[in-house]
Amino acid sequence: MMNNSPVLSVKDITAGYYERRVLQGINLDIKENEIVLLIGPNGAGKSTLLKVIAGILNPWGGEVFLKGRQVNGVSTAKRAKIGISYFLQGGEVFPNLTVQENLETAGFGINRKIFFSRMERLFKLFPHLSDLKQRRAGFLSGGERHQLALGMIFVRNPVLMLLDEPSAGLSPLLVNELLEKVKDMRKDLNASILMVEQNVKEGLRIADRVYLMKAGEIVKESSPEKIRKERLLENIFFS
């Protein structure tokens, strides 16, 4: 049963680039073991919000809490250590390193016994990666690269995963497969997920809850079922 205490709390966040305001008083919560989908048109501020939560972009105002701990001013590296992992759009990996070396780099500082235990779990989730351990990441297909990027998150055993369009550039068949793996990761890690996904239909299929963004603001919190029934997406994207 889902715990009601939030893993992530975002309170009145405003942020932008130089003098251009992008986010305007954002408030959202994510509960334990919950997949939350962030939907909105291009330029709504979805990726900017993920960057603020990950610590890549400092907010102009407001607060970010992880399990009740305020993390404003905490570096991206320290946020990763306390449980926030970030999948950048496109699935960033080290192209000149092998799959194994990428995973070991992601797992740097983790007890070796614990790391290899996590590797075993990872290869059960992504068996194809096990066959590619000695291949350079630069020679992977798009789908394989995205799996590796997710695997690099997995070995960190995060409490919160921030996924910025994890299926971008993949074929419809691979989109379905990859998002199913995201669900499996959530279950295995008992983690919470905040996800931006360009394939809204597939994103709604795995989400527990949805926030709709427009022009830097949260304009609606809803369930995937209500989004479908009330045709809310048309109002967000086309009004």
Domain ranges of the chain: 6-87+158-238
3-state DSSP: the chain helix, strand, coil percent, rounded to 5? 40, 25, 30
User: Regarding the domain with residue range 6-87+158-238, which homologous superfamily does it belong to in the CATH classification?
Assistant: P-loop containing nucleotide triphosphate hydrolases (3.40.50.300)
Report the percentage of the chain scoring pLDDT > 90: 82
The answer to whether 170 and 157 have CB atoms below 8 angstroms apart is no
The pLDDT value recorded for residue 227 is: 87
pLDDT grade for 206, boundaries at 50, 70 and 90: very high
Whether residue 172 is predicted with pLDDT greater than 90 in this model: the reply is no
b/e code 89-115 from CB counts within 10 Å (16+ = b): eebebeeeebbeebbbebbeebeeeeb
Total-model pTM:
0.92
Helix 112-125 with 142-154: angle, nearest 10 deg: 140
The pLDDT value recorded for residue 50 is: 97
pLDDT in tens, 116-152: 999 999 999 999 999 999 999 999 999 999 999 999 9
Task: Give residues with Cβ within 8 angstroms of 58, minimum separation 6.
Answer: 15, 52, 73
Cα–Cα distance measured from residue 10 to residue 49, given in angstroms and rounded to the nearest whole number: 10
